Amino acid sequence: MTMSPCRSRCFVDYEDLHQLLLAVQEKCCENHSQQIVSISLQIDFIDPLVVLDKFAQANTLNFYFENRSKGEAIAAIDAVTKLEITGKHRFSKTEDFIKDCLTNVINFGNTNQSFAGMHFFSCFSFFDQHHQADYPFPAATIFLPKLQVAVKNSSCTLVVNNLIHGNINIQTILRELQNKVKTLQSLADYSPNIEISPSNFNKTKINSSHTFKHSVSSALEKIASNHLRKIVLADALDVRAYNSLNLFKSLNNLRQLHPNCYVFSTSNGKGQNFIGASPERLISIQEQQLITDALAGSAPRGKTPNEDAANAKNLVNSNKEKHEHSLVIDFITQRLSQLGLFPQILAPRLRQLSNIQHLWTPITAVVPVNIHPFKILSQLHPTPAVAGAPRDIACAEIRRYENFERGLYAAPLGWVDGNGNCEFIVGIRSALIDGDHARLYAGAGIVAGSDPDKEFAEVQLKLQALLKALV
């Protein structure tokens, strides 16, 4: 029996793995079928962003997700199997896709460590149909990666998923695994050379300040006439750099500048990436414990500690901001209750980011085994934090006011594993990157008492924070 050491941490029993793969292949031949073998190994610590930089190809799907405050990061490269769909049944179809894959999997290695075993990576667009025919992402994408590297605090897990069928060469699979492990371990001490020189770029506004403020004023009239209680209006900014935007550099900047946010990137396998630093978790489920964030109502950070404290105090005491916040809490608790869950509202607090602060109320619930995370996502998306209230009316009005495709902006993206654990965020403070072009998105919640000038300033503040990281 050959135990192959890979530097210090990783031991692969290639002989056992070889026997397993042969047995699986034999069964596939007999049944004329295919099976997925998921191999989980503990490896030396390596930065998943470095893995993304080294392994991601423009023509394959990939995904990156990091939460510095939780000590977690994960990179997923290329797809063993995937589903891309559009239309209103996209959440239930992605759920079916996962269930189908899970009937067909065999695990090998240490599945008890963090992020071991099969993880599916998924992104959705804000609307289930695009109005803009050439928008580069489908309304829903879910994939099982070929390669996944994740860190939780100081431990690092490699997952390699292989599709086994009668004609596959088992020796090639083993050789490729050895090569991957070797390459990964060689990256353990690698820190890429990132020049901090600012790129030269041109900016093009999608809307004039007058257009955005006019939309806010018009929305306020509809709120005054009780047609709406809230609407979230987004703005976009187009940027063209003089050379291609560097994905690795942009993500590294985002994680340095926004250590309290979720930093993310997802690709479409055609060269475009959607990236950002979102403060907003949609749902996280660990061992059937769900937590979600009601995040709405905001104020800028102050330039001095006194100014910062004054801004925070005004935010906490503002009836307008508290009203906007309570709409989100009510919506989330109502939707979770409709699924038969019993949401618990935790104490409200402030979510303070580098340039902005929000009213924040975490909400928890226990999730029964028979309720899949995608059922919850389909109920919650979009919340009033990114759409408005009533939701359907707000969404119809968003289509009228916004002259660009939201696409993945303000929609769920994240991962789910085979046991129903998951982490999904809302893709706000985000940008669509295509070579030397980027389209940046940000929005503001409009409620009774909103001021068009202030709302415009809030959106510009969010766009500037993103621009700083990209260029």
My answer on whether omega of the bond before 368 falls inside 30° of 0, hence cis, is no
What is the C-alpha separation between 155 and 181, in angstroms, rounded? 16
- CA–CA distance from 170 to each of 3, 17, 161, 162 (Å)? 18, 10, 13, 10
Token pair listed for 355: 């340039």
CB-based contact 27:106 (threshold 8 Å) = no
| 443, containing H or E segment | strand 437-447
- CA–CA distance from 179 to each of 15, 70, 148, 182, 183 (Å)? 16, 31, 15, 5, 6
Give Cα 201 distance to the centre of its chain.
Answer: 27
- Count CB atoms within 10 A of the CB of residue 200: 10
| 412, containing H or E segment | strand 412-417
H runs (alpha helix) in 67-117: 90-102
Residue of 95, 146, 180, 230 marked catalytic: 230
What is the C-alpha separation between 471 and 468, in angstroms, rounded? 6
Task: Give the closest residue to 462 by CA, choosing from 273, 198, 232, 252.
Answer: 232
- For 132, what's the count of Cα atoms within 13 Å in the CB-facing half-sphere? 14
CB-based contact 364:326 (threshold 8 Å) = no
My answer on whether omega of the bond before 390 falls inside 30° of 0, hence cis, is yes
CB-based contact 279:359 (threshold 8 Å) = no
Residue of 72, 280, 397, 455 marked catalytic: 280
What is the C-alpha separation between 1 and 132, in angstroms, rounded? 58
203 is a catalytic site residue: no
Token pair listed for 189: 């001490």
DSSP of 223-265, one letter per residue?
A: HHTTS-SEEEEEEEEEEEESS---HHHHHHHHHHH-TTSEEEE
What is the C-alpha separation between 151 and 65, in angstroms, rounded? 11
230 is a catalytic site residue: yes
What is the three-class DSSP state of 348? coil
The residues that are catalytic are: 230, 280
